[in-house]
Amino acid sequence: MNMLVESFQHRHAAHCESGVASSMLSHHGAKISEAMAFGLSSAMAFAYLPFVKFAGFPLIAFRMPPKAILRGMVKPFKMRFHFETFRDQIKGMARLDEMLAQGRIVGIQTSAFWLPYFPADMRFHFNAHNLIVFGKEGNDYLISDPVAEDPQRCDAENLRKARFATGLMAPKGLLYYPEEIGQKTVTPAAVLRAIRKTVRIMLGPVPIVGVRGIHMVANRVGKLDSADKLSLNYVGHIVRMQEEIGTGGAGFRFLYAAFLQEAADITGRQELKVLAERLNEIGDGWREFALKAVRMIKGREPFAPSRLAAMLHTQAEHEGEFFRALKKAVA
């Protein structure tokens, strides 16, 4: 059976969930960029979760948990999202076909490990990878994976495994599509509300979240034993969470800076453009940290945990100043 939603347009994005949100809403008439989807859902954050282990190392997230972006679209666009999970895998696949036959594009949650078009070195067991299915040709589904430059294909068997992978954050066959979008443009009020929420999260009192969370990771890094080989893996892990997994820290800062530029135009508050510049510099600071860490991993300079910790503390201070200024700008 061949099906194709011809009007659908694939877009390349830095992050899967904001990419899916932007493509899906744009397809349904609410034309928004990835940066707008990311900012409007208050997705930028920082969290250090030592009790959640990711391949033996603590989870360090530079954004809100999975599904926050999709859920964040509901209020600003007065929309109703249809979310559906399945116990029965065959039913889950049949429902996807049924939706495609109706001419819908369908968002699904998958495990990256099972997607054949992923480069082998990138196929890890990560269960919260979002993508859009926009057609089917024979046994192949036509996939718009936001992190891929061009549309991809995935055979039915692998897609079933990807949708029904088990473990942490198991997708359980989740599929979703908008049932109704009541508001097709972005309002200044929604933008300001979203920024205020991000400010609250980043400057909040929880020690493992926001600016305080960055200080906490810095302290942890400062205590690493430079004689232990795994310490370098710990540092590499932070950089990986930052640069690789869902574009990470620096990437999300640049993405949010792009949002602030759009926000300035929508709200007419020009100081947001100045703040976008500052955040761009903070993003560069994260990149410098990554570069320094990699030089140490490669042995080009001695491994000095205290040096890295100092850089992280500086990042935390800069983000603290930035969000206090942002708080004033949206007051």
Partner 1 sequence: MDVGDVPQEGNRTMGGHRRAMYARDVDGRIVIVPSRGGEVDETVTLQALDLIREMTEAAKARVLAGESSPLEYWMYAQRLDLPQLSQVTGFWQWRIRRHFKPERFAMLSADILLRYADVMGITVGQLMKLP
The single residue among 80, 125, 223, 328 that binds partner 1, judged by CB under 8 A, is 125
Which of 41-49, 217-225, 244-252, 322-330 is the region at the interface with partner 1 (rule: CB under 8 A)?
244-252
Q: Are 93 and 156 in contact (CB under 8 A)?
A: yes
For residue 41, the Cα-to-chain-centroid distance in whole angstroms is 11
Should residue 35 be labelled a site residue for partner 1 when binding is judged by CB under 8 A? yes
Provide the minimum distance between the beta carbon of 263 and partner 1 in the complex, in angstroms, as a whole number. 12
Q: Which is nearer to partner 1, 119 or 205 (CB)?
A: 119
- Which residue lies nearer to partner 1 by CB, 75 or 273? 273
State the Cα–Cα distance between residues 20 and 8, nearest whole angstrom. 12
Binds partner 1 by CB under 8 A, chosen from 220, 240, 269, 318: 240
Residue type, 195: I
> Which member of 297, 307, 324, 327 binds partner 1 (CB under 8 A)?
297
Least separation, in Å, of the C-beta of 242 and partner 1? 9
Binding of partner 1 by 211 (CB under 8 A): no
Nearer to partner 1, 79 or 232 (CB): 232
Provide the minimum distance between the beta carbon of 51 and partner 1 in the complex, in angstroms, as a whole number.
Answer: 12
What is the spatial distance between Cα 304 and Cα 99, in angstroms, rounded to a whole number?
55
To the nearest whole angstrom, how small is the minimum distance from the Cβ of residue 283 to partner 1?
6
Site string for partner 1, 84-123 (x = CB under 8 A): -----------------------------xx----xxxxx
CA–CA separation, 171 and 128 (whole Å): 7
Q: Are strands 79-84 and 175-181 parallel, antiparallel or unpaired?
A: antiparallel
Count, residues near partner 1 per rule CB under 8 A? 53
Please choose, out of 90-98, 135-143, 197-205, 249-257, the segment that lies near partner 1 by the rule CB under 8 A.
Answer: 249-257
Assess 284 for contact with partner 1 (CB under 8 A): yes
Is 100:3 a contact under the CB 8 Å cutoff? yes
Q: Helix-strand-coil percent breakdown of the chain, rounded to 5?
A: 50, 15, 30
Q: Pick one of 247, 249, 263, 269: the residue that binds partner 1 (CB under 8 A).
A: 247
Which helix or strand (DSSP H or E) is residue 261 part of?
Answer: helix 248-267
The CA R_g of the chain, rounded to the nearest whole Å, is 20
Tokens matching residue 66: 């999975």
Q: Does 233 bind partner 1 (CB under 8 A)?
A: yes
E strands, the chain, where? 3-4, 44-54, 57-63, 79-84, 106-110, 129-137, 140-144, 152-155, 175-181
Can you tell me which of 244, 301, 317, 321 binds partner 1, judged by CB under 8 A?
244
Round to whole Å and give the CA distance between 188 and 194: 10
CA distance 279 to 263: 14
32: enclosing H helix or E strand: none
Q: Which amino acid is at 219?
A: N
Query: What's the closest the beta carbon of residue 84 comes to partner 1, in angstroms?
Result: 22
Would you tell me which residues interact with partner 1 (CB under 8 A)? 12-14, 34-35, 53, 55-56, 113-114, 119-125, 147-149, 161, 165-168, 232-233, 236-237, 239-240, 243-244, 247, 250-251, 254-255, 257-258, 261, 276-277, 280, 283-284, 287, 290-291, 293-294, 297-298
